[in-house]
Amino acid sequence: MCQDEPIRIAMWSGPRNISTAMMRAWGNRSDTFVIDEPFYAFYLKTTGKNHPGADEVLAHGETDWRKVVARLMGPIPELRHKGPSQIFYQKQMTHHLLPEIDREWLVGVTNCFLIRDPREVILSYVKKQSDPTLEDLGFVQQAEIFDWVREKTASMPPVIDARDVQQNPEQV
């Protein structure tokens, strides 16, 4: 990668996994632009899921996955108060990457995986939405994306345990 080329980080996580806190931490950097769950509107439109705030997400989000990918791989928006961004941090939900989305764009980003003890995820999730399905929690999708990235890039993507971040953020 050329020094002037921006760094694109796709942080793959399931729900209830400190992913929002991670995104906010990255967003505090002066050289970083962040995007929050860019495939969410597409996911809601395609699945018909009735999540809290779905109407607002659908009204303001992009529902064409091809346009989402183009944005993720296109120029990084400049932050008015920060200046040019060299890092594009993408908070991604594994269950939003539905099977019909072409995954080839993943080769052009640095894919990282944020994990959390499944028991903790489920206990946290049911406080917000009852009766989650395995698909809602994103565990299977995360493993599939991880395997796809590992195979296509011939390298082991970084995996970050949420507990490590919570207990020792400076070291992570």
Element (H, E) at 9: strand 7-13
Q: Report domain extents, the chain.
A: 7-167
Per residue in 112-147, pLDDT tens? Answer: 999 999 999 999 999 988 888 999 999 999 999 999
Q: Which band of pLDDT confidence, cut at 50, 70 and 90, is reported for residue 69?
A: very high
Per residue in 163-172, pLDDT tens? Answer: 999 888 777 7
pLDDT of residue 52: 85
How many other β-carbons are positioned within 10 Å of the β-carbon of residue 123? Answer: 11
Could you tell me which residues are beta bridge partners of residue 92? 12
Question: Dihedral of CA 58/59/64/65: which sign?
Answer: negative
- CATH fold for the domain made of 7-167: Rossmann fold (3.40.50)
